[in-house]
Every structure is written in structure tokens, then in C-alpha cells.
Chains A and B, each alone.
Chain A
Amino acid sequence: MAEMATRIEMIEARRPPDLRRGVLGWLRANLFDGPRNSVITLCVLAVLGWGLWPLVQWALIDADWLGSTREACSGEGACWVFISARFETIVYGFYPEAARWRVDTVFMMLGLLIAWLAIPRLPAKRWVGLFALVGFPVVAYVLLLGGHFGLMAVPTREWGGLMLTLTVAVVGIVGSLPLGVVLALGRRSRMPLVRGVCVVFIEFWRGVPLITVLFMASVMLPLFVPNEVEFDKLLRALIGIMFFWSAYMAEVVRGGLQAIPKGQEEAAKALGMGYWRRMGLIVLPQALKLVIPGIVNTFIALFKDTSLVLIIGLFDLLAIIRSGLTDSNWLGFATEGYVFAALMFWVFCFSMSRYSQYIERRLHTGHRN
């Protein structure tokens, strides 16, 4: 009979074999896992190549890149000259050329602020965030609209293109999230009046198509307010968009609030926290983290729907590209225009999506209890 064995030392943890790691390991495990799967992988690659090749050829290989007039287009592939020749208009709309540095400044500040807030290593997040929410809108407002400090006034009807799209999107995003959070909290309030107001607000704005909201803002509202009251069209559209999306945001956030166990609030109560501390310190940080996918989903929908402002005569990115299609010098470049517009929208939306996934991973603190 074998002797009883007792292990005295623990076996050290070792690294997994190299073949299971890295790019090669991944390829091996996922694409070339045995002869059958290797054949399938090669077939799929062939089909993809065969299907996508014409697109690549049209968009990249046969395309015309250089030049400034229609003569530069050979007609074999895409003619990106159409875009590059109109690039300034696509970005700035009808914004006066002499004042475009103001738009550039605002773009750069926005980019810097977003980067600063998005990169975890950079310090002083609180102050930068405060500036982004309070200081930056004022600076951007003064710079873009002008009329103060010797800056030439640029009325909003001259705004357009990417700068208008970004203005609408950023104001919509920055305005609808906090408003949505307040509405979501209000809808769960125990005070009947607060709850009632929030429910009516949410259900009204959610039940109306955005196009209707924009029409009402631009056509109907002026009928009700006296003529002397000048109410900028873009401002009306911005408020409409903000209210509309805050109703959606409220329901997304409410979903998150409902997912937080009651015990969390009870524990905060037991520690003597009042309502706003319980919400601000305990419930909302968890609820918002939980609904990041839903929030970003709403942001992306908002971003894409900014192009609806074209129906009230504002020329956003898409509208300005469309208007270029009717330029008699450039007839027949609709495909390039739409592909470029789609690409621009996609780049912004995809960046938001990727960043949200990164944030989700970063905020993950192990299993929930």
C-alpha cells in the first residue's frame, strides 16, 4: 500500500505558455484553430476581400486627391477634391473668413478640455471640469457670437457646417445630462408635485418627434411671443433639443437608479446623510456608472440627430455638404459628399463609444455585493 503523501510546499503560480498569448496566440486560438477553421477563415477573408475591394479601389486607389477644381477629377474613382475644395465651408459654414480664428480658438479649447478631462493622469480635474462647465461656455459664447470687446458680431444665421454641428451637439450633451438626472430624481420623488411636474415634462417631450419640436421652436413659438422679444432661432433649437433629449436621458438614468439596491440608500441614511448627499455621493455615482452604455447611446443618437436642424434652415455639417451638391461647378459628386459626411459622423460617434468602454473598464471596482 502506498504511503500517505502530504504536500508541504505550495506550487508556485507560473505564467501560461507563450503560445496562448499575444497576437499569434489570439490568431491561433480564434482563426486557425484546426484545419477546418483555418479553411473557413481563409474563405471568409476571400469573400470579404472580393466584396470590399471595389470600395477600396473607388475610395482610395483610383481616387483623385490633389487639385482645386473639377478638372482634377479623372472620373475613375472618388474625387476627394470636391471635399478639399469646399473644406473651409464644410467646417465653418458662412462664418466670415476674417473671424474664423475665433472658431479655431474655441475648437482648440474644446479639444484641450476634453483631452484634459479624458486622460486620467492629468491633474486638477476638479478645476478644469469647473472651467469646462462654467468658464468655457462663456468664452465660447463671446468668441463665437462676437459683438463684445471689439469683436465683430457674427449672427447665428451665418454659422454652419461642422462648427454648428459641434455647437448643437456639445450644448445638447452638456445640457441634457444634468437636466435628465434632475428629472430622473424628481420622478422618483415622494413629493407629489415634484413627481407630477417631472412625469408630465418627460412624457410630453418623449412623446413628440424631434422634428415637431424643432418646427414648433422655429415656427410656432414666434407666434406666441411679442415681436419686440428677439429670440434667436439657434437658441430656440438648442433649448428644444436639450429638453427633448433630457427626457430620454431621464429615463436612462432612472433605469440606473432603480438598479441600485435599497440597502445602499439605507446605509447612507443610517450614516446620517441627507437626501442630496445620499444621491450625490452614494446612489448617483453607482447608477450613472451602470447606465454609461445607455447614456452614451443617447449621446450618439443626439449627435446624429443634430442634422435635423436643417429642416428649420440651419446648415449643419450634412446640410452644408448637401448644399455643395447643387453648386453648378460641382454637379455629380453626391456620393463623395455623403460618404465624407458619414465618415465625419462615424468618427465622432465611434470615439464616444470607445471612450465610454474605456471609462467603464476604469470604473469597474470588482464584483457588486
Chain B
Amino acid sequence: MATTNTASAPADEPMISVEGLNKWYGDFHVLRDIDLTVAKGERIVICGPSGSGKSTLIRCLNHLEEHQQGRIVVDGVTMTQDVKRIEQIRRNVGMVFQHFNLFPHLSVLDNCCISQTWVQKKPRAEAEKTAMEFLERVRIADQAHKYPGQLSGGQQQRVAIARALCMRPEVMLFDEPTSALDPEMIKEVLDVMVELARDGMTMLCVTHEMGFAKTVADRVIFMDQGQIIEQAPPETFFNHPQSDRTQMFLSQILGH
């Protein structure tokens, strides 16, 4: 089912376009003149030192953070202060968080159904069918009746991915999805993300998993101090980084 509530952007138009985005926390300038265009089906990895504004950037794309200057257009809808419009954008944009943020009072199945039944107004049976389909895809269907608190971190994050996918989003945002996981669980989450990327989902991932970037990214973006310093396809980015700061960052995270 494609999005029925919005006119989907034509194929040649970008899925996301950001122009002159600026954001401040009080006096602190977190995002500085960000310009970014993401084509439909493009997979982008955003990396950079902590505090560089990478999470803030993707959180602006579904208005979890408010920006003060600039223009954001997601799937043909321009972001404004209007609540209805923000909710319209959010329905097209799935998000996966560092700390999973599953709803602990609901079973895994209900986590996946609640927004389908209440926001998309689907009948319960249909919502459950969709939910089981995606839980199957992230290989956790057998845990559907458990509560999040009974699952491991990796399992919870896979449920979170399924929950976002149940809304049939056009874009998926990943905000450091593996940073809170024990090392042995990172792979199961990354595997699901790689599959999703291969299926043609438009993805923006903030992550330190450079292996993932090399495998699936069409473009790697390096941010520092609120600016996009460098963006390039992974081969160029990892083998011939242009700026000093990128080189230093890469040597720090790949050096050991």
C-alpha cells in the first residue's frame, strides 16, 4: 500500500530536500547552513564526532526538533509549524532510536499495531496481519506476544524497526540504532538494516558502524560542529577523504 494521504513525490523529485537549515539551542549554533538532498531509494550514512549535530539533523526531518531557519521538504510536503502537516510528514517517515523507545506497557504485537489502528484507522485484523508480516521480516515473529521488557536489546531494536515499517513509511531514519547494544547483538540489527537497504528503502542512518556504511551506503556524510564537512560515495570517502577533519576522524575510529 502506497501512502494514500499525500501526493507522493514524482520519481525525479528528491524524497527529502533541506535548504539553508539553521538551528540554535539558546545561543549555541547546532546546525549551520545545512543543504541536503536525498533521492528516492538513496541510502545515506551520517557520521561525525559526538556533538556534531548529526542526530539533531535527522530529528529535524520529522520535527522532533524544531529548526529556526531554512526549508525542509519531505516527500513533497513542506515542513511548517502546522500540527496537521507535521503529523502528515511523520506518517511517511519511520524512525528508529538509539534506546529503542518501545512502549513497555504493550506487547510486541501491540507496539506494532497501535499506530496502525489509531492513526491509520486500519481494522485490527489487518493491522495484526501487517505487524506479523514485518515481525517475520525482522525474524522475531515468535516473540509477538511478549513484552519489550522480556526481550534482549537486539530483539527490541528489531521490533522497533518492524514497528516503524508497519506504517509503510517512504523514508526510514536511524538514530544510532546500534550504539546502545551489547557487541554480540549489533550484527542481528545491522543484518536487518542491510536487508532493508537492499529492498530499496530510502534510509538516513546516523551510525558509527563503518562496515555498514561501506556495504550499503550510496553516500557518506561527515559532519562536524554543526556543518556538513564532506560527502562522498563510500569508496571515495574512506579511501580518499578530502578534509583534514575527516581524515582525523577516520583515523580515530578505524585506527584500532
- When A and B form their complex, which 10 residue pairs have the shortest distance between CB atoms, in order from nearest? A366-B149, A267-B101, A271-B115, A272-B91, A263-B101, A270-B95, A365-B147, A367-B149, A272-B90, A272-B119
- 24 A-B contact pairs sorted by A residue (CB < 8 Å): A264-B103, A266-B64, A267-B102, A267-B103, A268-B103, A269-B62, A270-B62, A270-B64, A270-B90, A270-B164, A271-B163, A272-B88, A272-B167, A273-B119, A281-B118, A282-B103, A282-B114, A286-B103, A286-B105, A363-B105, A365-B104, A365-B149, A366-B149, A369-B104
Q: Mark A345-365, 1 if CB is under 8 A from B, else 0.
A: 000000000000000000101
**Is A100 an interface position by the 8 A CB rule?**
no
Contact B147 A366, beta carbon cutoff 8 Å: yes
Complexed CA–CA distance, A367 and B156 (Å):
12
**Is A285 an interface position by the 8 A CB rule?**
yes
Contact B118 A273, beta carbon cutoff 8 Å: yes
Q: Separation in Å of the A266 CB from the closest CB of chain B? A: 5
**Is A16 an interface position by the 8 A CB rule?**
no
Complexed CA–CA distance, A172 and B106 (Å):
31
Contact B90 A269, beta carbon cutoff 8 Å: yes
**Is A274 an interface position by the 8 A CB rule?**
yes
Contact A289 B115, beta carbon cutoff 8 Å: no
Of residues 41 through 70 on chain A, the ones whose CB sits less than 8 Å from some CB of chain B are: none
**Is A21 an interface position by the 8 A CB rule?**
no
B150: chain A residues at CB < 8 Å are: 366
B103: chain A residues at CB < 8 Å are: 264, 267-268, 282, 286
Contact A274 B87, beta carbon cutoff 8 Å: yes
Q: Which among A264, A267, A285, A367 has the greatest number of chain B C-beta atoms within 10 A?
A: A267
**Is B212 an interface position by the 8 A CB rule?**
no
Given contacts A271-B163, A369-B149, 11 further A-B pairs with CB under 8 A are A261-B99, A267-B95, A268-B115, A270-B90, A270-B97, A270-B164, A271-B167, A277-B118, A282-B114, A366-B104, A366-B149
B160: chain A residues at CB < 8 Å are: 267
B147: chain A residues at CB < 8 Å are: 365-366
User: Of B90, B99, B100, B149, which is within 8 A of A271 by CB?
Assistant: B90
Contact B167 A266, beta carbon cutoff 8 Å: no
B88: chain A residues at CB < 8 Å are: 272
Q: Mark B97-129, 1 if CB is under 8 A from A, else 0.
A: 101111111000000001100110000000000
Of residues 127 through 179 on chain B, the ones whose CB sits less than 8 Å from some CB of chain A are: 147-150, 156, 160, 163-164, 167
Q: Which among A261, A269, A282, A365 has the greatest number of chain B C-beta atoms within 10 A?
A: A365
With A272-B91, A272-B115, A277-B118 as given contacts, are A365 and B64 in contact (CB-CB < 8 Å)?
no
Chain A contact residues, majority secondary structure: helix
Q: Mark A243-282, 1 if CB is under 8 A from B, else 0.
A: 0000000000000000001011011111111100100011
A274: chain B residues at CB < 8 Å are: 83, 87
**Is B53 an interface position by the 8 A CB rule?**
no
Which residue of chain B lies nearest to A263 when distances are taken between CB atoms in the complex?
B101
B83: chain A residues at CB < 8 Å are: 274
User: Of A269, A270, A367, which is within 8 A of B94 by CB?
Assistant: A270
Complexed CA–CA distance, A263 and B180 (Å):
14
Residue ranges of B at the interface with A (Cβ–Cβ < 8 Å): 62-64, 83, 87-88, 90-91, 93-95, 97, 99-105, 114-115, 118-119, 147-150, 156, 160, 163-164, 167
Q: Give the A interface residue count (CB, 8 A).
A: 24
With A267-B101, A269-B64, A270-B164 as given contacts, are A277 and B119 in contact (CB-CB < 8 Å)?
yes
Complexed CA–CA distance, A39 and B90 (Å):
68
User: Of A272, A285, A286, which is within 8 A of B87 by CB?
Assistant: A272
Which residue of chain A lies nearest to B90 when distances are taken between CB atoms in the complex?
A272
Complexed CA–CA distance, A282 and B88 (Å):
20
Q: Which among B64, B99, B101, B119 has the greatest number of chain A C-beta atoms within 10 A?
A: B101
**Is A368 an interface position by the 8 A CB rule?**
yes
Q: Separation in Å of the B151 CB from the closest CB of chain A? A: 9
Complexed CA–CA distance, A367 and B114 (Å):
21
Complexed CA–CA distance, A322 and B101 (Å):
56
Contact A273 B115, beta carbon cutoff 8 Å: yes
Q: Separation in Å of the A267 CB from the closest CB of chain B? A: 4
A367: chain B residues at CB < 8 Å are: 149
User: Of A266, A273, A282, A366, which is within 8 A of B97 by CB?
Assistant: A266
With A263-B97, A270-B90, A273-B115 as given contacts, are A368 and B104 in contact (CB-CB < 8 Å)?
yes
Contact A281 B114, beta carbon cutoff 8 Å: yes
Which residue of chain A lies nearest to B87 when distances are taken between CB atoms in the complex?
A272
Contact A365 B90, beta carbon cutoff 8 Å: no
Complexed CA–CA distance, A264 and B163 (Å):
13
Which residue of chain A lies nearest to B94 when distances are taken between CB atoms in the complex?
A270
Contact B90 A286, beta carbon cutoff 8 Å: no
Q: Separation in Å of the B63 CB from the closest CB of chain A? A: 8
Q: Separation in Å of the B121 CB from the closest CB of chain A? A: 12
Contact B149 A368, beta carbon cutoff 8 Å: yes
Which residue of chain A lies nearest to B116 when distances are taken between CB atoms in the complex?
A271
Q: Separation in Å of the A43 CB from the closest CB of chain B? A: 44
Complexed CA–CA distance, A269 and B115 (Å):
10
Q: Separation in Å of the A292 CB from the closest CB of chain B? A: 13
Contact B105 A285, beta carbon cutoff 8 Å: yes
User: Of B87, B156, B163, B164, which is within 8 A of A369 by CB?
Assistant: B156
With A366-B149, A369-B148 as given contacts, are A266 and B119 in contact (CB-CB < 8 Å)?
no
Q: Separation in Å of the B174 CB from the closest CB of chain A? A: 12
Complexed CA–CA distance, A5 and B88 (Å):
62
A282: chain B residues at CB < 8 Å are: 103, 114
Which residue of chain B lies nearest to A277 when distances are taken between CB atoms in the complex?
B118
Q: Mark A92-120, 1 if CB is under 8 A from B, else 0.
A: 00000000000000000000000000000
Q: Mark A275-315, 1 if CB is under 8 A from B, else 0.
A: 00100011001100100000000000000000000000000
